[in-house]
Amino acid sequence: MNPNDEFAWVNDFLNRKVHTVLTKEILKATPDQDLEQVVVDDIMSKFDEDHSNEFQIVEGLSKGRQSIYTTWCLEAEVNNGGFDQYFSILQEKVLLWL
């Protein structure tokens, strides 16, 4: 493996296509391993730059999309700092969403 390729996934992630409108065709064409990120990208594309409207956007989503987003948030925080970080940083938002 080329040492320069070790982090090629970071470049791929940063340069991924972000859909601001999801259609059945987009979802059908999305590989399973990318589906969660495509849905989360769509949700996050609706947030203000400072995410000040995050709660209002998530509150207005279907229960299925709320589940995808909150699960993604949990996974991201646990991967970044563990459950302790998740509950200390997101506790107020998550409890409102539950």
* Neighbouring residues of 36: CB distance < 8 A, sequence distance ≥ 6: 68, 72
Question: Rounded to an integer, what distance in angstroms lies between the CA atom of residue 31 and that of residue 12?
Answer: 15
Residue 19 has pLDDT above 70, yes or no: yes
Question: Rounded to an integer, what distance in angstroms lies between the CA atom of residue 34 and that of residue 38?
Answer: 6
Quick check: 18 and 41 in contact, CB under 8 A?
Answer: yes
Which residue, 60, 71, 82, is CA-closest to 37?
A: 71
Q: Give the tens place of pLDDT for each residue, 32-74.
A: 999 999 999 999 999 999 999 999 999 999 999 999 999 998 8
Quick check: 55 and 93 in contact, CB under 8 A?
Answer: yes
Which residue, 76, 52, 67, is CA-closest to 97?
A: 67
pLDDT value of position 42: 97
